[in-house]
Every structure is written in structure tokens, then in C-alpha cells.
Amino acid sequence: MSTILETSISAEQLHAALRDKTRDLAFGDERMSLFEPLRLEIANAIHGFAARPADGAASPRYDAARIASDQAAALVEAAVPQQHRAALVAGVRNAAAALAAATKAAGPFAGFAGALRLSTAASPVRIVAPRDIALGAAAQDAPPEPEGANYYQKLTNLFPAEGLALYGTGVALYSGANALVVLVSLAVLGVLRWVAYGAGGGDQGARVLAVAAAGVSFLLWATATDPKWLAAFLTVSDTASEQIRHGAAFAGAAAVLLIPLVVRVPTKD
């Protein structure tokens, strides 16, 4: 796990190694044709990395950039005049790319986490102390972001479209509804929704309810489409199967109406 500062220091050591080569007369024209453009690229990557939102915490996602920088720095330091440069160039470019990646990617779920956030609480505070002290009440009074306000948007938010897409794919692959497809889809849906409703320290109870609502909607919808998957758990006659299907369709319709009343989805008004 590397912190922003540790990663920056590694990048700075690579930069210093390149800079030293640009000043070393033994390297002749390579000072400006090879080392200086590489140095500029690393400097640019450092600028970008420094300007990224600072969360201060160590993160495994900086490790790649740090390791690449350290390796490249070793290559540059060891470079002697009149040498094949492929490895050195590849190493430095790789470090620049890794730094750029660390600048952009804030984790595998970064863009996703909190996308359907339930709470209207502000995004997580990056640097805690100055908000408390310097910015004080002004920071607290920032208006909440406008979020889905009307009923249809609520329904869209709660309707588990991604689960259904997975389920559809599974049914196509296994040529028919079976318990495995339904349960796997349900599990994936649960995880996705859990992440998507989360982030920012919202109301955990509402999060659980919303995930449960999505799961129930999905099960009802899957049953209403084809109740055969229930055969894995109980013996269902064809007549009963049809009744279950109708029942599930009704319950699904009822759920669509009832769930928004139970699950608190933020509204502006």
C-alpha cells in the first residue's frame, strides 16, 4: 500500500534521475533528444498526480505507479552512454502511464459506487480537518445535489434492470429458466446494488431495504416470466405453475407500486 506522497516521491526520484542525465555531458545529444522529453513526460505525470483529489490514505492502486517509477529510476540511473535504449524508454513510458492511470482510476468501483446513492448526504469529504475549522458552517450549508425527483424516476431507480439483463443472458445460455441462473443473477444484482446504493455514509437501513426491494422485484419478475426455476426447491404441477406465474405477476405489479412507499428514495421536494 502506497500513499500519494510515497508514490510522488518515487516519481520524483525517477524525475531526478532523468534530470541528472540531461545535465551529464557524457550523454551528448541524448540529453535533449532522449532524456529531456522523457523528463517532461514524467514531470507532466507528476503534475497530474499531484492535482488529483487528495484523500491522503494509502491505497494499493498507487502501488503500480510507485513500483514502475522505482524500476524506471533504477534503469535511468544505471544508463551509460552508447547503449541500446529500448528497455529504458519502455520503463520510463510505463511509469508515466502508471502515474496517469493512478491519477484517473480511483478504484474499480469508483465511478459506480454511490451512483444510485440513497442518502442526500454530500459526497465523502476528502480532507476532513479544514472543513471543520476553516470553512466551518459554510461548507455544511452547501445545497444538496438535485436528484431524481419524480415517481417514475424512483421506479426506474428501484427496478433491477441489470439483474434482468443477466437473467435474460443466463436463460439464453442454459436454454431455459433454472434455479442456478436465478440465484446467480440475484447474487450479482445484490452485490451491484449494495455498492451502487452505498458510498458516502448514507442510511444503512435504507440501503438494506433498497437492495432487498430490488431482489424481491427481480424474483417476482423472474417468476412471472417463467416459474420453472422453482422446481429446484418444490414440486410444481403445470396448473399450479400457471397460478404461481399469475400470482407473481400480480405481486410484481403490486410491488412496483408499494416499494417506493417503503424505500426512501431521495427527492428534492
Partner 1 sequence: LAGGGCREARRATDRPAPQRHSNEEQTMRRRYGLAAIALIAALGGCGANALRLEMAGSVSSSATAVVDQSNAAIARARAARVAANAALIASDASCSPGSDTVYIYVPNAQFDSRTPPPPLCARPAPAGGFSPRPGYDVAAVSVAPLPEDAIKPTLALIGAIADYQGALAKIVAEPNADVQKELEAIAAKASSAKTLAEGVTGAKLPTLPDLKSKQATSAIALLQFVADLVKEARKTADVRRLVVQRGPQVMAIVPQLREQLALWHGIVQGTDLATQTNSLLRVYEQEKQLPGSTFDQRRSFVERINAALADEAGLPAKQAALNTVLDEFVAVHAALVDALNGKYTPEMRRRIAKLNEQRLLSALKLAAEAFASWGVL
Q: Which residues bind partner 1 (CB under 8 A)?
A: 4-5, 8-9, 11-12, 15-16, 19, 22-23, 29-30, 32-34, 36-44, 46-48, 50-52, 54, 56, 85-86, 89-90, 93, 96, 126-127, 129-135
| Residue with smaller CB distance to partner 1, 23 or 143 | 23
Q: Give the type of residue at 39.
A: R
Residue 121 CB, nearest distance to partner 1 (Å)? Answer: 20
Residue 44 CB, nearest distance to partner 1 (Å)? Answer: 4
Spatial separation of the C-alpha atoms in residues 165 and 162, rounded to whole Å? 5
Beta bridge partners of 2: 59
Closest Cα to residue 185, out of 232, 217, 153? 217
Residue 79 CB, nearest distance to partner 1 (Å)? Answer: 11
| Residue with smaller CB distance to partner 1, 94 or 178 | 94
| Residue with smaller CB distance to partner 1, 23 or 237 | 23
| Residue with smaller CB distance to partner 1, 54 or 184 | 54
Residue 22 CB, nearest distance to partner 1 (Å)? Answer: 6
Residues written for the chain: 269
| Residue with smaller CB distance to partner 1, 40 or 188 | 40
Estimate the crossing angle of helix 4-22 against helix 36-50, to 10 degrees.
Answer: 160
Q: Tell me how far the alpha carbon of residue 8 is from its chain's centroid.
A: 23
59: helix, coil or strand?
Answer: strand
Q: Tell me how far the alpha carbon of residue 15 is from its chain's centroid.
A: 30
Residue 134 CB, nearest distance to partner 1 (Å)? Answer: 4
Query: Taking the C-alpha atoms of 54, 56, 58 and 62 in order, what is their torsion angle to the nearest 10 degrees?
Result: 20
